[in-house]
Amino acid sequence: MSISGNPKKFAQAVSEGFVRLSPPMLKGHTPGQLKVLLSNLEIVQRELRQVQVALDDVDAVKQKNYRITRLNQAEMILRSFGKKMRIPL
């Protein structure tokens, strides 16, 4: 199974909570696809961290932190899956 569409859009969907990564979902992907997905997760996370949010806008700060948390969790799941399957990421 391949990642349909743009991997960066997939990483953005993960950050917005539309898609959740899980080890059974990752089993159908090749090591190359997993590397591309990991690099795109890191790119989206960098772009998200660059966004300046007003500190008095509590909802925007919470939303940004939730998105960063989702990306961190997805990255941890992907790295642990790679380590378990002995895939160098």
Residue 72 one-letter amino acid: N
pLDDT tops 60 at residue 1: no
Distance CA 87, CA 54 (A): 41
Mean pLDDT of 66-78: 97
What pLDDT, on a 0 to 100 scale, did the predictor assign at position 2? Answer: 60
Query: Which domain does 71 fall in, by range?
Result: 7-84
pLDDT value, residue 33? 92
Residue 24 in domain: yes
Q: Provide the whole-model pTM.
A: 0.89
Q: What is the pLDDT of residue 5?
A: 79
Residue 2 lies in a domain: no
Reported as a single tens digit per residue, the pLDDT across 4-57 is 778 999 999 999 999 999 999 999 899 999 999 999 999 999 999 999 999 999
Structurally, the chain folds into a number of domains equal to: 1
Examine residue 89 and state whether it is found in any structural domain, yes or no: no
- Structural domain contains residue 23: yes
